[in-house]
Structure 1
């Protein structure tokens, strides 16, 4: 019997998450029957000292030549907006920056391409706790509201647009930077609120326009990221009581880190689940 072909993975982005994934594949690839197809980064020089030349993809537009089964975007939402459809034409795609899908046109195009090509558009759970339960409630039509509050040290934020106008270094106490629909928040904090984006996609009956995101800068939490999730469901007709779930995820994080420590392991588990689930969006 011939040996099963290894599942080939292309990594787009060589920041903290990209480096972690490359190391995991090189260290445990044989165990899970996966291997690197390529690695691309906007600054290619960053890889020169740590990655073999044959694994470096100089031109992202030529990704098809590497015959990847799965492409993982961990660079920036703009990469998914620009190349997402192209990736899904030739491979499964794991979107590590799901804030890209807060753009309605991008979500529509990627869902459509997945359906046409038969490849899967994967959304990793990342720091989202209880995502499957939220999606089940949406599927049953019992999800009434969803609010996510993310609290980090001011140095952990990389903000754009109007939020970037605030000098975070001057914050001395807990400060709410934003509260409102996640659709408006995602473009202003594309690297910080991927958990909110994943939740908005899981809560598909509410979506980006009705899921409420709260972004909080708090100098008193320099070593962890907090994610508070508040879910409400239907009202019991007999008792008048409302179904609700509240969770808090406290994720250790280095000072100034955008991604918490536990999220890396969660991401690796998501990658190992991406073995093709048909032409649709799939949460992993």
Structure 2
């Protein structure tokens, strides 16, 4: 079980893309005053870390993470890491999963939940670009949630799809619906783009990945923003519709406001028992 009584929380960061770099820089810059310090940083290409991360903090072999004492491990790279190492991470530390789209796999979802419960560590799911996640969770827990629909619209350069759906896009073509269906079906198609939808599916646990509906839209007019729309319905005609415009550069998978959101999610990771916790 992760030890959280120490005044300093040791963080392992897995992945060094834009979000990983942001977290590492914030921990180095602001961590001391917040009781945070780096335990290790891993990247698929360790050479990318040279000169940016102190040599003693570079972990070249991820399977050796057990040799570094840490209370929280943060994954910010790819769902495959969650599949290959998530259960192992939870045997030693709390785990903040930056690719919750991996949880669409029912077996992996069950294994991670079991590991969290068995070892008394928390599987943290960041809200990311989701607005009102705790409200959805409360409605779900009360038994009054009846439906959730999420639409994510982005410039086509911002999508990373596993299928060749967008290879023919042209600037100025406007709006194109790429997929509409269950989040369970959508996650394998766009694993790097729909982590917000995965967070919704975790919050709406009675509906889950198969019951939450999702849609991704390519829109060449969205050169400066990602747009996330969430429609929630409940008992007795209750409904909420939110629209979030998240500033983002062309080609960016993650909107800029999500970096701050993720950082604040990390600050929450101080141990909430052997369960799944939306933060």
User: Which TM class, normalised by the smaller chain length?
Assistant: over 0.9
Residue 199 of structure 1 corresponds to 200
Kept after mapping to 2: 8 A contact 1:10/1:70: yes
Instruction: Work out the CA distance in 2 between the residues paired with 1:264 and 1:7.
Output: 20
Which 5+ residue runs of structure 2 have no aligned equivalent? none
Q: Which runs of 4+ in 1 moved over 2 A?
A: 168-171
Residue 212 of structure 2 corresponds to 211
Residue 109 of structure 1 corresponds to 111
Aligned counterpart in structure 1 of residue 40 of structure 2, from 38, 41, 45? 38
Matched positions, count: 274
Residue 169 of structure 1 corresponds to 169
Distance verdict in 2 for CA 1:271–1:168, change over 3 Å: farther
Instruction: Work out the CA distance in 2 between the residues paired with 1:209 and 1:271.
Output: 28
User: How does 1:1-284 map onto structure 2 within 5 Å?
Assistant: 5-161=7-163, 164-170=164-170, 172-235=173-236, 242-284=237-279
Instruction: Work out the CA distance in 2 between the residues paired with 1:254 and 1:108.
Output: 36
Kindly state the Cα deviation for residue 4 of structure 1 after the two structures are TM-superposed.
5.0
Kindly state the Cα deviation for residue 168 of structure 1 after the two structures are TM-superposed.
4.8
SS of the equivalent of 1:213 reads strand
Which 5+ residue runs of structure 1 have no aligned equivalent? 236-241
Deviations 1:224-283 (A, max 9, x none): 000000011112xxxxxx111000000100111000011000000000000011111011
Deviations 1:7-54 (A, max 9, x none): 000000000000000000000011101100000010111111211110
Instruction: Work out the CA distance in 2 between the residues paired with 1:279 and 1:231.
Output: 28
Instruction: Work out the CA distance in 2 between the residues paired with 1:47 and 1:72.
Output: 16
Instruction: Work out the CA distance in 2 between the residues paired with 1:19 and 1:55.
Output: 14
Instruction: Work out the CA distance in 2 between the residues paired with 1:173 and 1:165.
Output: 15
Deviates more, 1:92-101 or 1:44-53: 44-53
Instruction: Work out the CA distance in 2 between the residues paired with 1:4 and 1:204.
Output: 33
Instruction: Work out the CA distance in 1 between the residues paired with 2:33 and 2:127.
Output: 23
Instruction: Work out the CA distance in 2 between the residues paired with 1:137 and 1:4.
Output: 35
Instruction: Work out the CA distance in 2 between the residues paired with 1:116 and 1:177.
Output: 40
Instruction: Work out the CA distance in 1 between the residues paired with 2:168 and 2:12.
Output: 35
Instruction: Work out the CA distance in 2 between the residues paired with 1:271 and 1:77.
Output: 18
Kept after mapping to 2: 8 A contact 1:155/1:168: no
TM-score, with normalisation over the residues of structure 1? 0.94
Deviations 1:34-91 (A, max 9, x none): 1000000101111112111101001100101111100000010000010000000000
Q: CA RMSD in A?
A: 1.2
Distance verdict in 2 for CA 1:246–1:43, change over 3 Å: same
Kept after mapping to 1: 8 A contact 2:156/2:166: no
SS of the equivalent of 1:38 reads strand
Kindly state the Cα deviation for residue 169 of structure 1 after the two structures are TM-superposed.
2.9
TM-score, with normalisation over the residues of structure 2? 0.96
